[in-house]
Structure 1
Amino acid sequence: MTTTADLALLLGHASHVLTTELTAKLEELGITQRGYCVLAKASSGDRTQIKLAELCQMDKTTMVVTIDELEKAGLVERQLSPTDRRARIIVLTDGGREVVAKAEKIVDGTYRDVLAALPDDERAGFVNGLVRLVDDRLATPVQCERAPRRRV
């Protein structure tokens, strides 16, 4: 008998609803939630597609499709790595920097609004607890024969 709420169901539902809300709000900028993640992570420096895929928790195929969409929209460029000619660095264009700045305001506002549903004295503890779980106990998925499908 389970003594607590269905943690997997609650976390999965919260993630799905938040991702859906972010996706709907980012549509006005012509990007997806995945696209925002790539733009945000690429804006801090020279990162390869592989590194961005790792940071955004995307498989290689999804990363290539996402980069293709961002490149077609004129938001990023693929450039040869100065240290590894097999690798491509993802660089934001001026348009990409403008879009990511606008997107950050949307995302920050959404996060503030979501956390406002909690009492003031519970917000920091909630976020800190999630960070600790993801950095420790829930950091790496276990290998299994039939991996669950991700909603993101």
Structure 2
Amino acid sequence: MRFAGLTTLAGALALAAVSAASAAPATASGSVALALAGVVAPYSPLPAAEKAAVAAFFNGDSHVAYAKKIIVTADKIVCRASNVDITSRSCQLTFGSHTRTVKGRQANEIFATEALAGVPSDGAAGTIFESLTKLSCTLDPKMIKENGGGGADCTLEPGN
């Protein structure tokens, strides 16, 4: 009987540790960070010149004329895909008080890139979802032009 109580307590502590670890800040760098910035930037409130520079970098052009650092942020991103209605996929991207919903291929690109960046997925009642908060990606055009693998770094918090 005493062991059952200790086992329950140990299980609860382990679950709490896993939950705390999954909510801990995470980082991405290099090609993964560029990909994350690349799929989020088109929906963000960035100026057009910065969106164009991010798109060019993500499209393989490291010789972009834009010289200042670019910061791509999102307060929250929640992506969902159904494992019942296999045609259903969507992402909600929140930038301050503005929320943008994307569906289909664009949502799938964001969903897959979150997974590439290490955002864990979860599921319930026929839905698989991934979410992150406090995304901040910094792109340094000068470093990207050097083609040394650097120039893109992101921080984020997995989960809601």
Question: What TM-score do you get using the length of structure 1 for normalisation?
Answer: 0.29
Q: TM-score, normalised by structure 2?
A: 0.28
More strand per residue: 1 or 2? 2
